[in-house]
Amino acid sequence: MERANVSTVSEFILVGLSDAPEVRFLLFVLFLLIYLATLASNITILIAISTDTRLHNPMYFFLCNLSFLDILCPTITVPKMLEALLFENKVISFTGCMLQLFFFIDIVGTEIFLLAVMAYDRYIAICHPLQYMNILNMKLCAHLAIGTWIAGFLNSLLHTSFIFTLFFCDSNKVDQYYCDIPPVLALSCSPTYTRELVILTVAGILGSSAFLVTLISYVYILLTILCMNSAEGRHKAFSTCGSHLTVVCLFYGTTIYTYVRTSSSYSLNQDRIVSMLYGIFTPLLNPLIYSLRNKEVKCTLRRVTSQVRTAL
């Protein structure tokens, strides 16, 4: 008998992390602390950059955008996960799942493009230092930042529309702590090969373009650094790029593993761990990476921290 082309699933169940009560509470406390630390560290970065005129340049403008994304990314997924851990409420409506997936893919896509823009910023700063402020004026920086958000939005709109126009009529258990492309696709009772191919093609083109910009920028940066006569100049150049390069490697490694493959190769335990890396831990690590490797940021953070303590 032919299956009716109607979705009978009106809600999804997020499997979460554990059903054991004693482990569930410990996980709740752990992820709550990580989430609060992520919010605090990224908000501190935003305050530090906005209040220090010495940091009002393109590099820190893009860093502010990254910190804002790192606030939004866990905020989309972690509160629902905490609710599931504490109250065992794992149910999310069909619309809620769609919106969660849309905003999460939007943030991930925007960050991919933003990292490419930040690589271009480092290329101009190191390869054309005398023209840095003329080339990357604030008007161009604003246009580049807006462009990353628009590109992320359109990319997410395409993916979400392709996924949620499928039919869901059997299992509604999402093998993840939030709605994401691979586990949701795996639940569809419609043929998904064509849509997966289109999604992978579009994501591959956009992701490869962003990665190519990042790669070419760093090739020119490396060649410029190797031609420097001063050891101090080379060390300073490596220092300014080290933070961004670390973030790029961490982010690209986890996102490529998650999205550049078909839903048939989805692995429950491995994908949960990897998704936590870029969805929960990376937003916490980013401000730490930048603050630990950047003297200007560290000095400003000390000043802000001192002012907060005085106020308290």
Q: Is residue 3 part of a domain?
A: no
For a pLDDT cut of 90, what percent of the chain falls above it? 29
Give the dihedral of Cα atoms 67, 56, 291, 42; nearest 10 deg.
-20
Q: Which of 90-94, 170-174, 284-288, 292-296 has the lowest mean pLDDT?
A: 292-296
> Distance (Å, rounded) from C-alpha 151 to C-alpha 112?
10
Mean pLDDT of the chain: 83
For a pLDDT cut of 70, what percent of the chain falls above it? 88
- Give whole-number Cα distances, 218 to 103, 232, 268, 285, in Å: 30, 19, 35, 22
Q: Is residue 26 part of a domain?
A: yes
Per-residue DSSP letter, 291: H
> Which of 148-162, 185-199, 281-295 has maximum average pLDDT?
148-162
Q: From the CB of residue 226, how many other CB atoms can be counted at a distance below 10 Å?
A: 8
Q: Is residue 299 part of a domain?
A: yes
> Distance (Å, rounded) from C-alpha 89 to C-alpha 80?
9
Q: Is residue 273 part of a domain?
A: yes
pLDDT of residue 2: 41
pLDDT of residue 7: 59
Structure token pair of residue 126? 């190191």
- Give whole-number Cα distances, 272 to 94, 221, 279, in Å: 21, 35, 10
CA angle 183, 189, 193 (to 5 degrees): 70
Q: Which of 153-162, 186-195, 256-265 has the lowest mean pLDDT?
A: 256-265
- As for how many domains the chain has, the answer is 1
Q: Tell me which H or E stretch contains 55.
A: none
Residue 164 structural domain? 13-311
Q: From the CB of residue 200, how many other CB atoms can be counted at a distance below 10 Å?
A: 15
Q: Is residue 7 part of a domain?
A: no
Q: Is residue 8 part of a domain?
A: no
Q: Is residue 51 part of a domain?
A: yes
- pLDDT tens for 35-69 read 999 999 899 889 888 888 888 889 889 999 999 99
pLDDT of residue 297: 73
Helix (H, G, I), strand (E, B) or coil at 120: helix
Q: Is residue 175 part of a domain?
A: yes
Per-residue DSSP letter, 2: P
pTM recorded for the entire structure: 0.85
CATH code, 156: 1.20.1070.10
pLDDT of residue 146: 96
Strand spans (E) along the chain = 11-14, 91-93, 173-174
